[in-house]
Structure 1
Amino acid sequence: MFRNFAVRAPMRLLVLFGALLLSACAAGPLQYDELVESNQYTTPVELLDTPFHPQEAYQCGPAALATILQVSGVDDATPERLADQVYLPERQGSLQMELLGATRRASRVPYVMAPTLDALMTEVYAGNPVLVLQNLGLPRWPMWHYAVVIGYDPEDQQVVLRSGTTEREIMSLRRFERTWKMADYWALVVTEPGVLPESAEPLRYFEAVAPLEQQQRWDVAIEAYQAAAEAWPGEATSFIGLGNIAYQQQRYGDAEFNYYQAIEINPEQAATYFNLAWALVRQAKFNAARSAANEAAQLAADDERMQQAPALIEQAIEDTQG
């Protein structure tokens, strides 16, 4: 499933996020054998302090989300408060989109994990419970259910979940994977602001953060981009995001600094030069703005929008001097 989105920013800024593969097709062999044979997870783990919210009929979404949000420090996240945000009466359940939206409203980054058992175990062993979507029915007649993985027993090859009305549900790893696979291995992990999930990958993480920037939840987005910049100093996207937020907050000097940081990492990205040109115009650095706009046009000779960059910046300079 590919999901495209565009982030709107004022002052003609361009945001550099593309489509990202968020879930895997359910086809293919189970990952169970590879995980067991790797002998990577040899000690049992169980996150005993994970809250438990017995789930009423069709209310597994609010309850599971409340569980992981509370672990991330959102103390007032209760199933009752979340139900209005994520529960759809006409569907008698919750869609993933609603869970992601409610997580952002709680000032958290909803990180949709890579669709692998290894990623799931990485998070659980790091102390992060993982919300998973399962199909407890059949492919043709699904029975969708949200649960929270809190443990694993490698000796008996069993997974421990907070699930339904069962505080400590034990399920064989093989059966768990089958139910998870029929839901395209969809899983969500949430951490405290500024803390990356243990299994985080740059592209997945940046797509998780971008909607927060779009919604002007800037404090959370800034913390997220700063954490990403520290974890992945070779990724220009962190600095582009910080630059875009600074520009929208009219901190043009900070925007300029971050765009230059991004250009140092990736000097071939035309849109970064275009954004830089606008930050320079706002500071009356007109010659530097012209140079940045020209660079954008030269780097993207086949992009009609970038070819207009010098003229747009020249018009902005005239308006400013005006």
Structure 2
Amino acid sequence: MLYPGVQLYPLRPLKVFLAGVLALLAACAAPFDPDTRLSVDVPTRAEIAGVPLIRQEAFFCGPASIAMVMQWAGADVTQDQVAALAFSPGAGGTYTADMIGSSRRLGQLAVEIGTFDQLLAEVAAGHPVIVFQNLGLGVAPVWHYGAVTGYDFDRDEVYLNSGQEDRMVMPFAVFERTWRRGDYWGLVVLPPDRLPVSVGQTQVLSAAAALERVGQANAAETLYLTGAARWPDNWLWLFGLGNARYAQGDLAGARRALRQAQALAPDIPEIRANLATVTAELSG
């Protein structure tokens, strides 16, 4: 969802401009009222420790944001490594689809969110959220990715790691205005043994299947195991687990998972077919 012909700008040369624009927006912004704006119960303040501040290279706000949240989770990845998978030189930035795809090619669970309820629920749960904003004006857009790492209702503040050496602090209403211009697009990027709190299992299952499609069978296996523990009555998790293990050559493990899936759903023909294939290969 990088808009045609729109570049993502490095923040460092634009600090003075942005300071003026954000001050202008803040001057006419009403404080955020969680009682009327939210339908979820979250703490009055939350802040995620340990999300590194990475100063982005020019036009690498997207890769830098992914690197920040992956390093927070313990992965050894740099913004240059992410950019090799995600950055589009012709566009001068990173498309939202490539933000998702590159995260998955790096073995991460990646799911989109699009509401304040989801954003604040994830941050309150300790999950940083990547957001897409226009930090400029309609006549002078400044499209940018950053990672929301905290908020404080009493202080009317949202905290972001935004490609600089210090965190960005924004009033809620200013943050909402800049985020709304990016269609409220947000991305939760987590290791596959950790689940988001604001999306349902269908979206997580889709993310697991996407990991398989990009060749991350090991990460998919971990996510299917994590999902099966969270939703033990749904045979699809064990079915996916069997397929992920089969893709890695673990036939015995695949058979165990498929037998567990069949115990939950004995009438599903796809389970029977896959189980028959695995059993035949083990017998051969």
Q: TM-score, normalised by structure 2?
A: 0.77
* Number of residue equivalences: 254
Instruction: Tell me, in whole angstroms, the C-alpha distance in 1 between the residues paired with 2:40 and 2:203.
Output: 27
Instruction: Tell me, in whole angstroms, the C-alpha distance in 2 between the residues paired with 1:147 and 1:259.
Output: 41
SS of equivalent to 2:191: coil
Q: CA deviation at 1:162?
A: 1.3
Instruction: Render the CA deviation track for 1:243-263: whole Å, top value 9, x for unaligned.
Output: 112333444443333223223
Aligned match of 2:242: 243
Aligned match of 2:259: 260
Q: CA deviation at 1:32?
A: 7.0
Aligned match of 2:92: 92
Q: Is the 8 A contact 2:39 2:117 kept in 1?
A: no
Aligned match of 2:16: none
Query: Structure 2 counterpart of 1:158, which letter?
Result: E
Q: Is the 8 A contact 2:192 2:222 kept in 1?
A: yes
Instruction: Tell me, in whole angstroms, the C-alpha distance in 1 between the residues paired with 2:147 and 2:266.
Output: 43
Instruction: Render the CA deviation track for 1:37-84: whole Å, top value 9, x for unaligned.
Output: 658334322224221122344221121111111011113x22233333
Instruction: Tell me, in whole angstroms, the C-alpha distance in 1 between the residues paired with 2:40 and 2:270.
Output: 45
Aligned match of 1:148: 147
Residues 159-198 of structure 1 mapped to structure 2, 5 A cutoff: 159-165=158-164, 167-198=166-197
Unaligned residue ranges in structure 1 (runs of 5+): 2-30, 285-319
Q: CA deviation at 1:189?
A: 1.9
Residues 1-322 of structure 1 mapped to structure 2, 5 A cutoff: 36=37, 40-75=41-76, 77-110=77-110, 112-136=111-135, 143-165=142-164, 167-284=166-283
Note closer, same or farther for the CA distance 1:247–1:176 as it changes in structure 2 (3 Å cut): same
SS of equivalent to 1:188: strand
Instruction: Tell me, in whole angstroms, the C-alpha distance in 2 between the residues paired with 1:57 and 1:44.
Output: 32
Query: Structure 2 counterpart of 1:71, which letter?
Result: W
Instruction: Tell me, in whole angstroms, the C-alpha distance in 1 between the residues paired with 2:161 and 2:47.
Output: 11
Note closer, same or farther for the CA distance 1:263–1:35 as it changes in structure 2 (3 Å cut): farther
Q: CA deviation at 1:141?
A: 8.0
Note closer, same or farther for the CA distance 1:248–1:191 as it changes in structure 2 (3 Å cut): closer
Percent of counterpart pairs with the same letter?
35
Unaligned residue ranges in structure 2 (runs of 5+): 2-31
Q: Is the 8 A contact 2:65 2:147 kept in 1?
A: yes
Instruction: Tell me, in whole angstroms, the C-alpha distance in 2 between the residues paired with 1:102 and 1:170.
Output: 28
Instruction: Tell me, in whole angstroms, the C-alpha distance in 2 between the residues paired with 1:218 and 1:37.
Output: 37
Note closer, same or farther for the CA distance 1:258–1:147 as it changes in structure 2 (3 Å cut): same
Q: Cα RMSD between the aligned structures?
A: 2.9
Instruction: Tell me, in whole angstroms, the C-alpha distance in 2 between the residues paired with 1:78 and 1:283.
Output: 41
Q: Is the 8 A contact 1:161 1:167 kept in 2?
A: no
Instruction: Tell me, in whole angstroms, the C-alpha distance in 1 between the residues paired with 2:90 and 2:191.
Output: 33
132-141 or 66-75: bigger deviation: 132-141
Q: Is the 8 A contact 2:218 2:248 kept in 1?
A: no
Q: TM-score, normalised by structure 1?
A: 0.69
Note closer, same or farther for the CA distance 1:192–1:164 as it changes in structure 2 (3 Å cut): closer
Instruction: Tell me, in whole angstroms, the C-alpha distance in 2 between the residues paired with 1:254 and 1:159.
Output: 45
Instruction: Tell me, in whole angstroms, the C-alpha distance in 2 between the residues paired with 1:37 and 1:107.
Output: 32
Q: Is the 8 A contact 1:113 1:119 kept in 2?
A: no
Note closer, same or farther for the CA distance 1:32–1:44 as it changes in structure 2 (3 Å cut): closer
Instruction: Tell me, in whole angstroms, the C-alpha distance in 2 between the residues paired with 1:278 and 1:139.
Output: 58
Aligned match of 2:29: none
Instruction: Render the CA deviation track for 1:292-320: whole Å, top value 9, x for unaligned.
Output: xxxxxxxxxxxxxxxxxxxxxxxxxxxx8
Structure with max Cα Rg? 1
Note closer, same or farther for the CA distance 1:269–1:34 as it changes in structure 2 (3 Å cut): farther
Q: Is the 8 A contact 2:54 2:165 kept in 1?
A: no
Instruction: Render the CA deviation track for 1:221-253: whole Å, top value 9, x for unaligned.
Output: 211111110011122221111111233344444
